[in-house]
Amino acid sequence: PQVVGRPGSAKPIDVMWRSGLDVASEAVTASAIPSMEPGGRTGKAEFTSDAADSVVLKTTASGPAVVVLSRNFHPSWNVTIDGAPASVARVDYALLGVPVAAGTHTVVFRYRPAIVVTTRRVTLATWTAVILLTLAMAGVRYFTRAARG
């Protein structure tokens, strides 16, 4: 889509409400998107995978463009383009956007809140401790019985 709005311009929500805005071909931003000039090229995006916490798209663009994903923006969304990390921009007031260069690319969006990562680590550490303690107790019990004869 064409990028609409620059730093210091009207608030994105005000731009969204103006008449004549074509959300199918324009992406409204509050700040500049790295590597994107105002304007944009055409392209298409095809879903390869669509889950609650991840989306994989195959995109083709005729020039630099912005891929807009209709998911609520949150800082815990991460994106890679062809396996390389990229930055997610907030577009159209509440959606996800990422700039892509001309050509065909695989864009992967993943929702990874820090609390989930921390919880997985704590769970893994807890289960490791439980298993080690169980093995240690079984070993003590075995050797105690063997010593009694």
Please check the confidence at residue 53 and state whether its pLDDT lies above 60: yes
Task: Output 93 or 113, whichever has higher pLDDT.
Answer: 113
Overall average pLDDT of the 98-123 stretch: 92
Q: Which residues of 50-85 are buried (b: 16+ CB within 10 A; e: fewer)?
A: eeeeebbbebebeebbbbbbebebeeebebbbeeee
Average pLDDT over the chain, rounded to whole?
Answer: 83
- Distance in angstroms (rounded) separating the CA atoms of residues 56 and 81: 10
Q: What is the pLDDT of residue 117?
A: 85
Q: What is the model's pTM?
A: 0.68
Identify the bridge partners of residue 68 per DSSP, sorted by sequence position: 97
